[in-house]
Amino acid sequence: MDYYKLFDLEIVYNIDKKALKDRYFSLQKQHHPDKVASSYDEKSAQINKGYRVLMDDFSRAQYLLTLQGFNLSDAKLEVNFMNEVMDMHDLKRNNTHLFEAQKRIMLQERYNNMQLELERQDFTAALSTLAEIKALENLS
């Protein structure tokens, strides 16, 4: 199932979320299990899953990369980034508020970089950046 096709969206990272939401409600009206035969339950589930994937920035990037043949589990983190992560662990022990602020900044920088990489269709770089985002989001 191609979620971009399902929602009649261009296959890009920067989607029109309002158009996605409008199309989602339109499709749900057509395929909701309460309104149509039970055979449409699967279609409604696909619509829900597609909406969740495309509405979330991380999931949409991962899905877009998957469409291009890239798998997040194949991404390798660079040593420099791992050093940054270790520094973040130290920062968390010493100053939780500064840790949270720095984590937000690092995530925003990486989302911005990934957006540019996807626009340039530099999928290898985008995959690496997405792996860094995942690692940062997992910092607690």
Q: What is the CATH number of the domain that holds 11?
A: 1.10.287.110
67 found inside a domain: no
Which residues span the domain enclosing 119? Answer: 72-137
So what's the pLDDT on residue 57? Answer: 97
Is residue 121 domain-shared with residue 76, that is, in the same domain?
A: yes
So what's the pLDDT on residue 44? Answer: 83
Tens digits of per-residue pLDDT, 31-87? Answer: 766 666 655 578 888 999 999 999 999 999 999 999 999 999 999 999 999 999 999
Q: Mean per-residue pLDDT for 92-120?
A: 97
Please identify, among 11, 27, 55, the residue that sits at the C-terminal boundary of a domain. Answer: 55
Burial of 108 (0-12, 13-18, 19+ CB in 10 A): exposed
More confident position, 30 or 128:
128
Within 13 Å, how many C-alpha atoms sit on residue 64's CB side?
A: 27
17 found inside a domain: yes
Domains identified in the chain, total number = 2
So what's the pLDDT on residue 45? Answer: 87
Please choose, from the candidates 58, 79, 80, the residue with its C-alpha nearest in 3D space to the C-alpha of residue 127: 58
Is residue 129 domain-shared with residue 98, that is, in the same domain?
A: yes
